[in-house]
Chains A and B, each alone.
Chain A
């Protein structure tokens, strides 16, 4: 798959603060790529460099064949992390205005806006002012504003933040729709579940450095499966089972315990389970759990993606 975006050895410094370190990855045309990491990991700085809003301190960025995002501005759609539209404008006018800046004539922009708002179930909100819309509605309007010009590359910075589960689901469907129409999508998030459901590829970022680049399955394969056993059993008994690497007591209710066993890499867990039953262990419940992307992230970086890594050096611009 040809690359729509390539980063090589990209660094970003704000004075003495090193926000992005030697970052390199590729995003294939027409794919959905998740750009994952906790708040403050350097995602927003990287996105701004891709868009050409901020220059990289060093390194090379190529997007849609251009060495500067500003040169292909009209072919890119961007939804920033902190969002807002003109409060006194109607959604149709706001969408048409931002479309016009990307080369869509105002009349055509209005037509597309009405069509897209209807498709998103926002037909009733067309004549309202932006300030009268709910947060979920205005977020959808903003996403429409960022793609009304039918961009080839869509960059979404934390698109799910602040949305309720129903709207998150709707947004996921919109992102899938964009990719189905042939657009390349790069979205940043610190919530791994969205990436797990949506992405063809993920790039994991921690403290400004790339921790992983590959598919979701490849990311999961880097970590262990878990076997959870509940019953009148001792940790030492579980530790002795085949393929078990580490055990921990997840819950202790006197005689009955919940023991979580991390399996050796490549181990499927059936052997351990079989040995447990054959060995006569008093197992009352068991659960063989696949590792999640969240687990993979922790395993790969040693960080929790839900923890904020923001650093705001005195007198320097905040790197997000």
Chain B
């Protein structure tokens, strides 16, 4: 036992004492924040497109005004949504919306218009439709025109027999922002014209279009026993996040173990270790040491997440705490983590015992990584349709149980299913410990190149 602890201690210290470990540990939350912020920043920094609108002929009269009005309404709607979002956030956190003026500016730009109508250049307005006019438009859309006068799009509006139509010239062929906006605006203008033609008051039409029904959802399974609130939806989010967290922790831990054993094999340390401790003690010590590292990672990530939540959304933090502690989710999380980690860690360690370089490990790691991608792909399905037969069956497969069961947990799967799948996972984990122990013992002293055949042979022979 003492040897196991000594090996675990060395294993833990070897990583925990390095700057790289702490940097990579902090990198995950940092990248998670960046991952969420970057798309917003990209969106907010998107340029506002300069669009010229040309009515082609007297029949098109009024369509340009319709486009301008639609744009004005769009701006109003966006501002209203921003106001409502701020109110909801303040209500949820109990705090006024904080943030720097730069951040507020970025969010304001997000809710701002994506295009602006500019004065149509006289050259374009005066030109007769046809090739000559198209040539002028091309010039205004490319760098043949100075940047200050350049346009992002020119919209030619016309009225056909069946309603308004448009030709949209854009500077970028792949940008459909203007096209989409013009289509919606013309559709609304057409609808309005048709209703007016039918004698309906425009104010009635406007009112009907802007109406948003207020829908309340009730469920006997909600916390209050009636109306469904954010508190009822949080477990699903936590279950999903827990599944992904488990996946990344288990894979991180198992990969550390693989590299650690590979390093000892290539540095010829394993044989010295084997003369001082049994293969079981070495394997157990390494698995325990890396488990402690994984717990350190979990505590650090959990701490950062809790601190962030308490700072920016204390109301939700209390709810999350309640779900994790009183809802028992944390207990299931720990159990799935222990079983899942054990299963993958011993397997990776056994593979490492045959390898001196990552290239050596590729033969076996390739298929294993493919298996590991499956729960990632099915976890969102487990959250939305937790009772789908495919999800139920897959959550009984020990390799997937920890991740899929964690994601299914908020939907209250039958206790028998939960306990059964967990028992299966632990039984399989113990089988993996036995199997990998044999392979580890054989691999540690072997010079044989790793293959499915040599791995199977090692398990059969157990190093004898």
Chain A residues within CB distance 8 Å of chain B:
48, 51, 53-55, 70, 73, 76, 78, 80, 82-88, 97-98, 100-102, 142, 145-146, 312, 315-318
Complex: A53 Cα to B275 Cα, angstroms: 7
By the criterion CB–CB under 8 Å, are B269 and A101 in contact?
no
By the criterion CB–CB under 8 Å, are A54 and B271 in contact?
no
Knowing A54-B463, A315-B453, the reply to whether A48 touches B445 (Cβ < 8 A) is yes
Contact of A73 among B10, B14, B275 (CB under 8 A): B275
By the criterion CB–CB under 8 Å, are B445 and A54 in contact?
yes
- Chain B's nearest CB lies how many Å from the CB of A121? 23
| CB within 8 Å of A: which B213-259 residues | none
By the criterion CB–CB under 8 Å, are B445 and A53 in contact?
yes
Residues in A with CB closer than 8 Å to B275 are: 51, 53, 73, 76, 78, 80
By the criterion CB–CB under 8 Å, are A317 and B445 in contact?
yes
By the criterion CB–CB under 8 Å, are A315 and B271 in contact?
no
Residues in A with CB closer than 8 Å to B268 are: 80, 82-84
Residues in A with CB closer than 8 Å to B273 are: 101
Nearest CB in chain B to that of A149: its residue = B276
Complex: A310 Cα to B40 Cα, angstroms: 64
Nearest CB in chain B to that of A314: its residue = B448
* Binary contact track B430-464/A, C-beta < 8 Å → 1, others 0: 00000000000000011110000110010000011
By the criterion CB–CB under 8 Å, are B454 and A101 in contact?
no
Complex: A70 Cα to B453 Cα, angstroms: 29
By the criterion CB–CB under 8 Å, are A101 and B276 in contact?
yes
Complex: A87 Cα to B435 Cα, angstroms: 30
By the criterion CB–CB under 8 Å, are B272 and A80 in contact?
yes
Is B101 positioned at the interface, with any CB of A under 8 Å from its CB?
A: no
By the criterion CB–CB under 8 Å, are B445 and A101 in contact?
no
Nearest CB in chain A to that of B265: its residue = A84
By the criterion CB–CB under 8 Å, are B448 and A97 in contact?
no
By the criterion CB–CB under 8 Å, are A70 and B278 in contact?
yes
By the criterion CB–CB under 8 Å, are A97 and B274 in contact?
no
Nearest CB in chain A to that of B6: its residue = A100
Is B277 positioned at the interface, with any CB of A under 8 Å from its CB?
A: yes
| CB within 8 Å of A: which B269-290 residues | 269, 271-278
By the criterion CB–CB under 8 Å, are A101 and B267 in contact?
no
Nearest CB in chain B to that of A142: its residue = B272
Nearest CB in chain A to that of B454: its residue = A315
Is B183 positioned at the interface, with any CB of A under 8 Å from its CB?
A: no
By the criterion CB–CB under 8 Å, are B457 and A80 in contact?
no
Knowing A86-B269, A102-B276, the reply to whether A97 touches B445 (Cβ < 8 A) is no
| CB within 8 Å of A: which B1-51 residues | 3, 6-7, 10, 14, 18
By the criterion CB–CB under 8 Å, are A84 and B267 in contact?
yes
Q: Contacts A86-B14, A100-B6 given; 15 further ones with Cβ under 8 A? A: A53-B271, A53-B274, A53-B275, A54-B463, A76-B275, A82-B271, A85-B267, A85-B269, A86-B267, A97-B6, A102-B276, A146-B272, A315-B453, A315-B457, A318-B448
Chain B residues within CB distance 8 Å of chain A:
3, 6-7, 10, 14, 18, 267-269, 271-278, 445-448, 453-454, 457, 463-464
Complex: A134 Cα to B445 Cα, angstroms: 26
Contact of B6 among A70, A101, A312 (CB under 8 A): A101
Nearest CB in chain B to that of A101: its residue = B276
Q: Which of B268, B271, B273, B278 has the most CB of A within 10 A?
A: B271
Chosen A-B contacts, 7 in total, with CB atoms closer than 8 Å, are: A53-B274, A84-B267, A84-B268, A85-B272, A315-B454, A316-B448, A317-B446
Complex: A78 Cα to B276 Cα, angstroms: 9
Complex: A87 Cα to B268 Cα, angstroms: 11
By the criterion CB–CB under 8 Å, are A80 and B271 in contact?
yes
Residues in A with CB closer than 8 Å to B14 are: 86, 88
Residues in B with CB closer than 8 Å to A317 are: 445-448
The 9 residue pairs across chains A and B that have the minimum distance between CB atoms: A84-B267, A84-B268, A101-B276, A78-B275, A82-B268, A318-B447, A80-B271, A84-B269, A317-B446
Contact of B277 among A48, A78, A101 (CB under 8 A): A101
Complex: A73 Cα to B14 Cα, angstroms: 25
Q: Which of B3, B273, B275 has the most CB of A within 10 A?
A: B275
Residues in A with CB closer than 8 Å to B7 are: 101
- Chain B's nearest CB lies how many Å from the CB of A38? 18
Complex: A317 Cα to B442 Cα, angstroms: 9
Q: Which of B18, B447, B464 has the most CB of A within 10 A?
A: B447
Complex: A82 Cα to B447 Cα, angstroms: 12
- Chain A's nearest CB lies how many Å from the CB of B143? 56
Contact of B267 among A87, A98, A312 (CB under 8 A): A87
- Chain B's nearest CB lies how many Å from the CB of A27? 17
By the criterion CB–CB under 8 Å, are B274 and A98 in contact?
no
- Chain B's nearest CB lies how many Å from the CB of A195? 23
Complex: A55 Cα to B445 Cα, angstroms: 12
Residues in B with CB closer than 8 Å to A146 are: 272
- Chain B's nearest CB lies how many Å from the CB of A266? 45
- Chain B's nearest CB lies how many Å from the CB of A139? 12
- Chain A's nearest CB lies how many Å from the CB of B363? 15
Residues in A with CB closer than 8 Å to B445 are: 48, 53-54, 317
